[in-house]
Amino acid sequence: MPTIDLKYGRTSIPFEYDEGRFEILGNTCAKRELSDADIGERLDQPIDSATLDEIVNPRDSVLIVVPDATRETACAQIVNLVVRRLIAGGTAAHDIRIIFATGIRRKVTEDEKASILTPFIAQRIKTLDHGSRDLMQSIQLGETTSGIPIGLNRAVVEHDHVIIIGGVSFHYFAGFTGGRKLICPGLASSRTITETHKLAFDCDTKSRREGVDTGLLDGNAVNEAFMEIVAKVNPAFAINTIVNDTGQAVDLTCGNWTTSHRAACDAYASEHTVLIREKRDLVFVSCGGYPHDINMIQAHKALETASRACNDCGTIILMAECPDGLGRDDFLKWFEALDSRELAKGLCDKYQVNGQTAWNLLEKAERFDIRIVSGIDHESIERMRVKKIDVPAIESLSFANGKSGYIIPDGAKISIVT
Look up the pTM and report it: 0.92
pLDDT for position 355 = 92
Residue 218: DSSP 8-state: T
Write down the pLDDT at residue 16.
87
Contact 355, 346 (CB under 8 A): yes
Per-residue confidence (pLDDT) for residue 30, from 0 to 100: 72
CB 187, CB 65: distance < 8 Å? yes
Q: Regarding the domain delimited by 3-25+276-417, which CATH topology (the fold level of the hierarchy) does it fall under?
A: 2-enoyl-CoA Hydratase; Chain A, domain 1 (3.90.226)
333 burial type by CB count under 10 A (0-12 exposed, 13-18 middle, 19+ buried): middle
Model pLDDT, residue 238: 98
Q: What's the CA dihedral at 265, 267, 269, 270 to 10 degrees?
A: 160
Residues of the chain with pLDDT under 70: 27-29, 395-401
Residue 29: the pLDDT is 58
CATH number of 36-271: 3.40.50.11440
- pLDDT value at residue 97: 98
- Residue 245 has a pLDDT of 83
Start-end of CATH 3.40.50.11440 domains in the chain? 36-271
Model pLDDT for residues 290-316, shown as the tens digit of each residue:
999 999 999 999 999 999 999 999 999
Cβ atoms within 10 Å of 119's Cβ, excluding its own = 12
Q: pLDDT at position 71, please?
A: 79
| Ranges of CATH 3.90.226.30 domains, the chain | 3-25+276-417
| Predicted pLDDT of residue 398 | 62
pLDDT recorded at residue 395 = 67
pLDDT of 328: 87
Long-range contacts of 392-397 (CB under 8 A, 24+ apart): 394/13, 394/15, 394/284, 394/317, 394/319, 395/15, 395/16, 397/282, 397/315, 397/317, 397/371
Tell me the per-residue pLDDT of 132-141, one tens digit each, with 9 for 90 and over.
999 889 999 9
- Give residue 246's pLDDT: 85
